[in-house]
Amino acid sequence: MSMSQTTETSTASPARSSRFLAGGRKVATSFAVILTTLFGLLVITFVVGRLVPADPVISVIGDQADQATYDRVYKEMGLDQPLYVQFGSYLSDVVRLDLGQSTLTKQPVASDLARVVPATIELATLATLIGACFGIPLGVVAAVNRGTWIDHVARVVGLLGYSTPIFWLGTIVILIFYAHLGLIPPGGRIYIYNEGIIDGPTDSIIVDSLIAGNFEIFWSAIHHLLAPAIILGYAAMAYLSRMSRSFMLEQLRQEYILTARAKGLGKRPIIWRHAFRNIRVQLLTVVALAYCGLLDGTVLIETVFAWPGLGQYLTSALFVADMNAVLGAVLLIGMISIAINLLSDIVYRFIDPRTR
């Protein structure tokens, strides 16, 4: 081996080691941030569960029980222990996926959540797709045609989506398209006479019906899903169109756009090949935020459309002060949001090499 080859090998080896160490530090930092966020989420849910005025003992034994029964259940639930001991027990239970028993359904909260979450994921996912497919192009077109009637129409559409309450819009849709026109079903995920036919592994009627090859139930599920998904998608579209317009306006003012125009590059390549490509990471962030927001926003729309998802489960639990169910649902929403943000960070590195 020559002297130059030896020098190149010795130089490359420390470089690879440096990149490996830098990557290891990034992974360790990300893992520490995730653990810290999860711990903070657990602390918040625990504190909220202790500060709410509802008495967890009363929710279990009812308000007609005698004092002796109350005292016995109070000790069995560990409420006579110091707060740090109670938090330790709570943390241990959560790690073992034991979220307690629901006083509303008399079932483990973890089982209830596994049953209702697929319905909410169906609704939020389709709504996000609708919002992204319509909102992002609308925002881009509005930015390109800034100050024209197209821009004004896009801004009005976005303003209406921001200012219109979801529950009010859902009620109007039911009154018009169900009560008067009969174009949509009254509510729920599927027609009553189709319930119990599909029993698949995912608890998602759409996925399980496709696996089973039952297209009648598949289209029935889609028919029930469209109205609430379009309403939620409209709200997401308003947010995404506004952010897309803002991002594009910023890019269209950059010098590289002026240079591309001076070189005679066409309008379409400038917009989609250069400007839009530079806002993909930002758009990925706002789409992830919109998806997380829809998981929270389904509480109202699921109640209006009798959609048996996480939102309706959480609302029903709040009405009867079922704190195990409430805290379990809130904790799950927070964990899903953390997972979505983590996934978006991973996708960043594939879209934009500058973030690696």
Q: Is the pLDDT assigned to residue 343 strictly greater than 70?
A: yes
Q: Is the pLDDT assigned to residue 24 strictly greater than 80?
A: no
Cα 145 to chain centroid distance, Å, stands at: 32
> What pLDDT is attached to residue 319?
79
Q: Is the pLDDT assigned to residue 6 strictly greater than 60?
A: no
- Alpha-carbon distances, residue 117 vs 138, 156, 336 (angstroms): 31, 34, 11
Q: Is 194 helix (H, G, I), strand (E, B) or coil?
A: helix
Q: How confident is the model at residue 23 (pLDDT cuts 50, 70, 90)?
A: low
Who's near 227: CB < 8 A, 6+ residues apart? 170, 173, 174, 177, 184, 305
Mean pLDDT in residue range 243-259:
85
The overall average pLDDT reported for the chain is 80
* % of the chain residues with pLDDT over 90: 4
> What pLDDT is attached to residue 130?
92
Q: pLDDT by residue (tens digit) across 111-126? A: 888 888 888 888 889 9
Q: pLDDT by residue (tens digit) across 261-317? A: 887 777 788 888 888 888 888 888 888 888 888 877 677 788 888 888 888 888 888
* Upper half-sphere CA count for residue 335 (Cβ side, 13 Å): 16
Residues facing 101 on adjacent strands? 108
What is the chain's alpha carbon radius of gyration, rounded to the nearest angstrom? 26
Q: How confident is the model at residue 133 (pLDDT cuts 50, 70, 90)?
A: very high
Q: Is the pLDDT assigned to residue 155 strictly greater than 80?
A: yes
> What pLDDT is attached to residue 322?
78
Superfamily of domain 109-355: MetI-like (1.10.3720.10)
Domain boundaries, the chain: 3-95, 109-355
> What pLDDT is attached to residue 137?
92
Write down the number of H helices and E strands in the chain: 14, 0
Residue 5 vs residue 28, higher pLDDT: 28
What is the DSSP secondary-structure string of 125-174?
HHHHHHHHHHHHHHHHHHHHTTTSHHHHHHHHHHHHHHHS-HHHHHHHHI
- Alpha-carbon distances, residue 201 vs 115, 195, 209, 289 (angstroms): 11, 15, 11, 29
**Which pTM value belongs to this model?**
0.80
> What pLDDT is attached to residue 80?
73
Q: pLDDT by residue (tens digit) across 65-105? A: 777 777 787 787 777 777 778 788 888 888 888 888 887 78
Q: Are 237 and 131 in contact (CB under 8 A)?
A: yes
Q: How confident is the model at residue 257 (pLDDT cuts 50, 70, 90)?
A: confident
Indicate the burial class of 151 (C-beta count within 10 angstroms; 0-12, 13-18, 19 or more).
middle
Q: pLDDT by residue (tens digit) across 171-214? A: 888 888 888 887 888 777 777 767 767 777 777 788 888 887 88
Q: Are 114 and 203 in contact (CB under 8 A)?
A: yes
DSSP 100: -
Q: Is the pLDDT assigned to residue 14 strictly greater than 80?
A: no
Q: pLDDT by residue (tens digit) across 212-235? A: 788 888 888 888 888 899 999 998
